[in-house]
C-alpha cells in the first residue's frame, strides 16, 4: 500500500511540475504572439477555476489570453426556490433530508440547510451518495429525501442508489432531483448576442461519463475550439496551448487533452444506468442565467413515485439573489468577483451573500482564498 501511495504521488507530481508549466507558458506565448487578438477562454468547471487560482496560472500567460469563468459549479447555479424546497422538506415530520456538503451552506429565501439543522431539523450531509442507503436502513420509520445535485459526473451514483433501493425493496427513500447537464448552458451562453466566449476548456470528469462527443454539436454550430482538459496545472496549461494552436492554424475542433481518462464515447455502462432511470426535463432555471431548455434530468414516469416533487406541493416562483450579489453575471462570464462591491466585505465565506462564495468550486471562493487573479 505504501508503494502504491508513493507511485500515485509521483504520478500527480508530474502534472504539477514547475519546469513543464514554464515550458508550456513559453509555447503559449510564442504561438499567441502574432494572433493580433485576445482569446477569451471559458473554463466551464469551478474545479478548473480553483486550479488556475491556486497555481497562479493567469500570471504566467500573455496578456491576450484571458480566462472567462463559467457556470460549471452545481451548487452555484442552484436557484433559491429549489433550495427552499429542501428547507421545506426539512420542516416536515419524520423526514430526513440528505445532500452533499456544499449544499448545506447555500442560502435560500428561508435560510440554509445548516440553519434548518440548527433549528432542529434532521438534515445530514454525506461525502458519498451511497450513504443514503445506510441512513434509510437505520431509520426505517422515517422518509429519507435525497436532495440530489451535480452534473453528469454524479448522476450515475444517484441511479445506482435507485437501483439498489428497488432491488432491495427499500420503501423509505425518495428523491428531489437537481441533476443538470453541461452542453446546454454552454450553448445558451454562446447564443447570446453579446457573448464574449472564444473557446472552452470543457470538464474532463463529466466527459469520463458522457464522452467528449457531447460537445461536438457546439463546435459544429458555433465554430469555436473546445478542449476537454484535466484538473492539474499541466493539464490546464496544455489545454490552453491546444486552443492557441487551433487559433494559429485557423481550426475549430473538439480535442481531448485528458486522454488518460476521456474518450469520445465515454462510460457506456454508466450512460446505460442513467438512461434507465432518467430522462430530459423540459427546462431548468439556472441561477443568474435563467431557464435553459433540456438542461436537466428528471425521473422517468415509471419512477415518478420516487419523486419528491410529485409528493409535495412546492412553490415554484423564481426568487432573485441579494441585490448586492452579482453571482449570476459572474456565472455568465460577464464579470469577475472583484467587480462585485460586496466581494470580501459584506460577502465572505463566513457570511456569503451568494452561491459563488458558498461553494468550494465557486469563483468568488477561489478569488477570496487565493487572491491572485488579475494581471
Report pLDDT for 282.
Answer: 96
Map grid coordinates 467528449 to a residue: 212
Rounded Cα distance, 151 and 270, in Å: 13
Chain mean position to CA 67: 17
Report pLDDT for 140.
Answer: 97
Question: End-to-end distance of the chain based on CA atoms, in angstroms?
Answer: 43
Chain mean position to CA 24: 27
DSSP state of 298: E
Rounded Cα distance, 152 and 297, in Å: 10
Burial class (CB in 10 A: 0-12, 13-18, 19+), 205: middle
Domain range annotation of the chain: 80-180+296-311
CA-CA distances (angstroms) from residue 132 to 121, 161, 251, 308, 357? 17, 8, 47, 15, 27
Strands (DSSP E) found in 46-94: 65-72
Chain mean position to CA 350: 21
Q: Name the CATH superfamily, with its identifier, for domain 80-180+296-311.
A: HypD, alpha/beta domain 2 (3.40.50.11740)
Contact yes or no for 185/76 (Cβ under 8 A): no
Number of H helices, E strands in the chain: 16, 13
Torsion-angle region of residue 169: left (phi > 0), alpha (psi -120 to 50) or beta?
left
Report pLDDT for 6.
Answer: 42
Report pLDDT for 354.
Answer: 81
Beta bridge pairs of residue 124: 98
Per-residue pLDDT of the chain (375 residues; tens, 9 = 90+): 555 554 444 456 788 999 999 999 999 999 999 999 999 999 999 999 999 999 999 999 999 999 999 998 898 899 999 999 999 999 999 999 999 978 998 889 999 999 999 999 999 999 999 999 999 999 999 999 999 999 999 999 999 999 999 999 999 999 999 999 999 999 999 999 889 999 999 999 999 999 999 999 999 999 999 999 999 999 999 999 999 999 999 999 999 999 999 999 999 999 999 999 999 999 999 988 899 999 999 999 999 999 999 999 998 888 888 889 898 888 888 889 999 999 999 999 888 888 788 887 899 999 999 975 544
Rounded Cα distance, 341 and 356, in Å: 14
> Model pTM?
0.92
Length of the chain: 375
H helix intervals, 150-292: 155-167, 183-191, 204-210, 216-222, 233-248, 268-277
Rounded Cα distance, 205 and 291, in Å: 25
Rounded Cα distance, 373 and 248, in Å: 26
Report pLDDT for 132.
Answer: 98
Report pLDDT for 3.
Answer: 53
Report pLDDT for 7.
Answer: 45
Report pLDDT for 2.
Answer: 53
Contacts of 18 (CB under 8 A, 6+ apart): none
Amino acid at each position: 500500500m505504501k508503494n502504491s501511495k508513493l507511485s500515485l504521488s509521483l504520478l500527480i507530481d508530474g502534472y504539477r511540475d514547475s519546469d513543464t508549466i514554464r515550458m508550456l507558458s513559453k509555447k503559449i506565448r510564442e504561438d499567441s504572439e502574432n494572433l493580433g487578438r485576445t482569446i477569451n477562454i471559458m473554463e466551464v468547471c469551478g474545479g478548473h477555476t480553483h486550479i488556475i487560482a491556486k497555481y497562479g496560472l493567469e500570471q504566467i500567460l500573455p496578456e491576450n489570453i484571458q480566462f472567462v469563468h463559467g457556470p460549471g459549479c452545481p451548487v452555484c447555479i442552484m436557484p433559491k426556490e429549489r433550495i427552499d424546497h429542501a428547507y421545506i422538506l426539512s420542516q416536515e415530520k419524520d423526514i430526513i433530508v440528505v445532500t452533499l456538503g456544499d449544499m448545506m451552506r447555500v442560502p435560500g429565501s428561508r435560510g440554509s440547510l445548516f440553519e434548518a439543522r440548527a433549528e432542529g431539523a434532521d438534515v445530514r450531509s454525506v461525502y458519498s451518495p451511497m450513504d443514503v442507503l445506510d441512513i434509510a436502513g437505520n431509520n426505517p420509520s422515517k422518509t429519507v429525501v435525497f436532495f440530489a445535485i451535480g452534473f453528469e459526473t454524479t448522476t450515475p451514483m444517484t441511479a445506482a442508489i435507485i437501483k439498489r433501493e428497488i432491488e432491495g425493496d427499500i420503501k423509505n427513500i425518495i428523491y428531489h432531483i437537481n441533476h443538470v447537464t453541461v452542453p446546454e448552458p454552454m450553448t445558451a451562453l454562446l447564443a447570446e448576442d453579446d457573448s464574449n466566449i472564444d473557446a472552452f476548456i470543457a470538464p474532463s470528469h463529466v466527459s469520463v461519463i458522457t464522452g467528449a462527443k457531447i460537445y461536438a454539436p457546439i463546435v459544429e454550430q458555433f465554430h469555436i475550439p473546445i478542449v476537454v482538459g484535466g484538473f492539474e496545472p499541466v493539464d490546464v496549461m496544455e489545454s490552453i496551448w491546444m486552443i492557441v494552436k487551433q487559433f494559429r492554424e485557423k481550426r475549430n475542433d473538439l480535442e481531448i487533452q485528458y486522454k488518460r481518462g476521456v474518450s469520445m464515447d465515454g462510460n457506456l455502462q454508466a450512460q446505460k444506468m442513467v438512461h434507465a432511470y432518467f430522462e430530459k426535463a423540459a427546462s431548468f432555471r439556472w441561477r443568474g442565467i435563467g431557464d435553459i431548455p433540456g438542461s436537466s434530468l428528471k425521473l422517468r414516469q415509471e419512477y415518478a413515485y420516487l419523486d419528491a416533487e410529485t409528493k409535495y406541493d412546492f412553490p415554484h416562483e423564481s426568487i432573485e439573489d441579494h441585490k448586492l450579489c452579482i453571482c449570476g453575471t459572474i456565472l455568465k462570464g460577464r464579470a469577475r468577483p472583484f467587480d462585485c462591491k460586496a466581494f470580501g466585505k459584506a460577502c465572505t465565506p463566513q457570511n456569503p451573500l451568494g452561491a459563488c462564495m458558498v461553494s468550494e468550486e465557486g469563483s468568488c471562493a477561489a478569488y477570496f482564498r487565493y487572491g491572485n487573479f488579475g494581471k
